[in-house]
Amino acid sequence: MWAALKTVRETIRAGGSLESIDPETIRQLLDGSDPETPLNH
C-alpha cells in the first residue's frame, strides 16, 4: 500500500494527473490496507 501511495505522490509532484497512474495502483489503494500497519500510524 505504501508503495502505491508513493507512486501517486511522485506522479502528482512530477505534474502528472491521476489519469496517468496505473489502474492497478489505484485498485491497491482502494481495496485495502496493510493488515500489519495500523490506520492511525
The count of C-alpha atoms lying within 13 angstroms of the C-alpha of 16, restricted to the half-sphere facing its C-beta, is 12
**Which amino acid is residue 12, in one-letter code?**
I
What's the pLDDT at 3? 86
Instruction: Estimate to the nearest angstrom the gap between the alpha carbon of 25 and the chain centroid.
Output: 6
What's the pLDDT at 40? 55
What's the pLDDT at 39? 57
Please give the model's pTM, rounded to 2 decimal places: 0.50
pLDDT per residue as tens digits for the range 1-41: 788 888 888 888 998 887 888 888 888 888 876 666 655 55
